Structures are given as structure tokens and as C-alpha cells.
Structure 1
Amino acid sequence: LLDGHVIQVEARIQECMKGGLATGQCDRWKDMAKRALVSSMMSLYLIHMHNISEEQKTTANLLLHVLADIQIMEEWCGVTVIVWCSDAMGDAHKMQKDLIKAQLWMIWVFCITSR
């Protein structure tokens, strides 16, 4: 029963977003169980949470997750991601530069409020 409702809600969300423009954001932190996590959000929708505890915390790995999440946003949600926001420090800063090289049209902004 619940699965059917989830499918209906997701279909309505997709219909509302299709053809729109979106902003993306990612952040990395540890949860209560001390697992290292990266989550991506589109506008106000949580798109994906990656458990990266077993991965090396590198710029390249972060970029792979971000590009995969952008692909989900564009294909599943039918939006064009035009802005990406992440931390202004370390791997996230380098990832932003690499993201702009891969997606030349994208605007990049840094979130400094978490520092």
C-alpha cells in the first residue's frame, strides 16, 4: 500500500519539476553512527545520500557522486541544473573547479555558512 503511494507522490513531483531550472547542493558530514555521508539536494528536494565510509575521501570520488546526482536530477526530474553549491574548503573546493570544467554552462557558488 505504502509503495503505491510513494510511486504516486514521485510521479507528481516529477510532473511539477519537468522542464524547470534547478540549483544543486552537496555536503559531507558524519551521521550518528559515524558513517561518512555525502548528500545532494536539488532546490529543496533531497535527491540522494551516499554512504562513503568505505571510500577514499577524494576530489575525484566526490565529483563522481555529484555528476551521478546531476544526471538523476536531469533525467528523472526533467530539470536543467544550472547552479551547484558546496563547501569552500578542501576537496569540495577542488571538486567545484572540476565540475565547472565538465559542465561549462554551470554557475558555481560556495556555501560558507557552515564554517
Structure 2
Amino acid sequence: LSGCILNEEVAKADGAMRQEVQGRHGTGQCDRWKNNAKDSLITNTLNVELTPYLLNVTNISTLPKIAETLFNIILNLKEIELICEAFKVLLVAWCTD
């Protein structure tokens, strides 16, 4: 899938997610894991009423594995702004390990 077909599917999934989470309380979550290629990845998810919604995956293989890197990823991707403004979720916490 690519181009306009992919864009349409993303818009549909995004709209469905918005309907599910809008006006609810949620938490943000980050976790680091490795894929099959051994790349170090950070995933950011929104959790609303026991359901996780994937927001972004960032490859951090070339970056230092420190709290500042994680914090900058969250700020630069504007995850909190996305959750609160675009998805209209009241963010009550952000968790990481």
C-alpha cells in the first residue's frame, strides 16, 4: 500500500481511534525493545480504558540510551500535544520503565 490508498486507510484508522478515545482519561507510555534486526526501538502508546493505541515507533540505535533521549523523543514528536489536542484525551500520567 502506498500513496492515496495508504493515506485513506490511515485516515480511517485515525478517525476510528478518535471516536474511541475522545473525552476519556488516558495515560501515555514508552517502552524500549529490539526488533528482529536488533535495532533499538522506542514505542509510544496511548492507553485508554485498558486498550493500547500505538502512536509512534522511533529507532534509537544510534542514540544514547538515557532518559534525556527518551524525553526529547516525546517532546519532539509532540506526543502529549497529539493526545490532548488531536485526540481530546485527558492525559493523567506518562509511564516508562
Q: Same fold (TM over 0.5)?
A: yes
Preserved contact between residue 24 and residue 84 of structure 1 (Cα < 8 Å): yes
Work out the percentage of aligned pairs sharing the same amino acid: 32
Is residue 2:9 matched to residue 1:16? no
Size of the aligned set, in residue pairs, is: 87
Helix, strand or coil: the match of 2:20?
helix
Q: Equivalents in 2 of 1:2, 1:53: separation in Å?
A: 27
Contact 1:47 1:73 in 2 (8 A): no
1:30 alignment counterpart:
34
Q: Which runs of 5+ in 2 are unaligned?
A: none
The answer as to 2:53 corresponding to 1:45 is yes
Which sections of structure 1, spanning at least 5 residues, go unmatched?
88-115
Q: CA deviation at 1:61?
A: 1.2
Per the normalisation by structure 1, the TM-score is 0.65
**Rounded Cα–Cα distance in structure 2 between residues aligned with 1:6 and 1:63:** 26
Report which structure shows greater RCO (CA 8 Å, sep ≥6).
2
Across the aligned residues of Structure 1 and Structure 2, the Cα RMSD in angstroms comes to 1.7
Letter in 2 for 1:29: W
**Following superposition, which runs of at least 4 residues in structure 1 exceed 4 angstroms of deviation?**
none
Q: TM-score, normalised by structure 2?
A: 0.75
